[in-house]
A and B are shown apart, each in its own frame.
Chain A
Amino acid sequence: MQKIIKSKLQIVAILVLVLSMNSCTKENLDINELNETIFVRHKKADMPAYIHGNASDKVFLIILHGGPGGNGLWYRLNTIRTDIEKNNAVVYFDQRGHNNAQGNYSEKEVSVAIMAEDIVALAKVIKKKYGEDSKVFLMGHSWGGTLGTATLLKNQEEFSGWIDVAGVHDPKGLYQENKISLTAIANEQIVLENSVAHWRSVLNLVQNSSPLNTFEDSGKLNGAAHEGEGILEEDKVINEAIADYGDDVPSDDFSKVSWNSNKINNILVKDQGLFQQVSFTERLSEITLPSIVLWGKYDLVVPAAIAQEAFDNLGSNDKELFMFQKSAHNPMLHEPQLFSDKVIAFINRHK
């Protein structure tokens, strides 16, 4: 019987070995074509950074995902994947409490300030791993723009440039801007006789929403903004959104991703009142890094007026504002080629 047990244990040992080996097979440490996952441990959280692309010049672009509740690898698509990764390495990062980030901390240890420190920690880790002479650029999309702004207000020394893509530097002011932009686009589309019934209902929603910025009503306007962008796409006012992940469609445990997403969103948005309490507008002048502000003209989620405000208030001597004419909140999906051209040109100018 000992023989039987021994043979079974051998089979199990081989299977475990095969599982372990398979889990390592996709790594690529070729500096021209990096493909690796590392973790950053900071203040009781372990957060994954998925690093892809050409690091031969030691130039890294950290992308801060949207949300709160987004996911780093959702951005590894279209020309970010095919063009920007050829120019420089791209670091897709799961922020504290998001997607595959794990840890053991209390709700009090989740805040915009601590999450901004996490990003500074990530930049330090990249320099430790790839060399202190590495150049690190920061890109923030939507909520990532809030986090990116908070990060730069803590530490700009670690970074070579700031790419603000429809970033919310003023979450507190978003509610009023949503009202203004939804009303303006609705009136414009009614005149053009595009989806008139829909845009009339949007006007009605805005008129009936509270004059005060409440959690419930800001959520309703956010929903109307996303829906409105879908209508603009159907009516061909903006380009069709393309999301081409190639052979690397993100394949994470959906239940874990959605649980993390809900949890972090509840903490930051509902409990801490992100969209009622936080604003960095007054401090934008402290950001003196070279900056580019990229926005979709038809962005209803984070209206284009905020782009002008960001551009006007940034303290940098070297700053640029560019509006994508056929895009809404996600120019990397609506005008991917122009998007990557702008990002690559900015990075190459400042690396």
Chain B
Amino acid sequence: MLLLACAINLHGQSMIDGTSFLNRTAFKIGYYGDIQFEHGLNLGAEYLWKEKLKVKEKRKRAKTITHQFLINGSIGYATNFSNKTDNGLHTYYGLIWRRTNPKRWQFNLEVNPLGYYRSFLPETFEVKEDKVSKVKLPGRSYYAPSIGVGIGRQRTGKRRSGWYLNLNYTLRTPYNAGVLGGYSIQYGHRFNFKKK
């Protein structure tokens, strides 16, 4: 619902500046996990909010460096595959700053202050006083903001518009009387549906 609301809102903004939502948006799909213990899938969208082109005049030709601010939304699911103790859905929203050099290599920093993690647990029994009852849809919800740093490469004029490799650090809170931090890797591809 949040993703949908975000998309509708962004679509509204893009109408104001005269560029269509799809022309300013890249969709992404990729691996999400820590490679060793937890593995999952992530889907997301990046909406181009601001863009600045910096042209450097060189002897042979001008070189253009692009700086972008993108609004980021993502949703995914990951599991530890073994004993079902770490299955969870995560979704987060924030801002990406991205620099693309003339050779299309990209560097980005990501801040996602709005994040949510919902764990899904196997069969769970709740004990209150002497009463034992089975819990429906067992699991817990956590506020889960994140930051990330990553690289990638752009493919110009293609549907599959590039790849990315990010290292993210996510907090889950309140978690066991504290704040749990964890690293994850994201590797995937971006797609666009620009009208040609």
Contacts and interface: CB of A to CB of B under 8 A. Distances in A.
Nearest to A253: B37
Given A41-B135, A256-B182, A12 B29 contact: yes
A349 interface: no
A48 B125 CA distance: 10
Interface stretch (A122-130, A203-211, A312-320): A122-130
B77 A19 contact: yes
A41 B176 contact: no
Contact of B84 (A37, A46, A121): A37
A223 B83 CA distance: 32
A348 interface: no
Nearest to A26: B82
Interface in A1-41: 1, 4-5, 8, 12, 15-16, 19-20, 22-24, 26-27, 36-41
Nearest to A118: B127
B180 A38 contact: no
Interface stretch (B53-61, B100-108, B116-124): B116-124
B192 to A, nearest CB: 11
Nearest to A266: B178
Interface stretch (B38-46, B62-70, B150-158): B38-46
Nearest to B29: A12
Nearest to B85: A100
B159 to A, nearest CB: 8
Nearest to B133: A128
B94 to A, nearest CB: 22
A46 B124 contact: yes
B176 A101 contact: yes
B125 A128 contact: yes
A37 B122 contact: yes
A12 B178 contact: no
A329 B169 CA distance: 38
B161 interface: no
A45 B175 CA distance: 10
Contacts of B49: none
Interface residues of A, number: 54
Contacts of B79: 19-20, 22-23
Contact of B177 (A5, A26, A40, A106): A106
Contact of B41 (A19, A37, A125, A253): A19
A125 B77 CA distance: 29
Contacts of A73: 83
A41 B125 contact: yes
Contact of B83 (A48, A102, A263): A48
B29 A40 contact: no
A4 B193 contact: yes
A39 B175 contact: no
B48 to A, nearest CB: 19
A1 B40 CA distance: 27
Contacts of A260: 176, 180
Contacts of A267: 177
A40 B124 contact: yes
Contacts of A97: 176-177
Nearest to B180: A259
A309 interface: no
B182 A255 contact: yes
A39 B176 contact: no
Nearest to A129: B125
A298 interface: no
Nearest to B174: A104
30 contacts: A8-B29, A8-B191, A15-B41, A19-B40, A22-B79, A37-B83, A37-B84, A37-B85, A38-B124, A39-B122, A40-B127, A41-B125, A41-B126, A41-B127, A45-B176, A46-B124, A48-B83, A100-B83, A102-B175, A103-B176, A104-B174, A105-B174, A106-B177, A125-B127, A129-B125, A252-B86, A253-B86, A255-B183, A259-B178, A259-B180
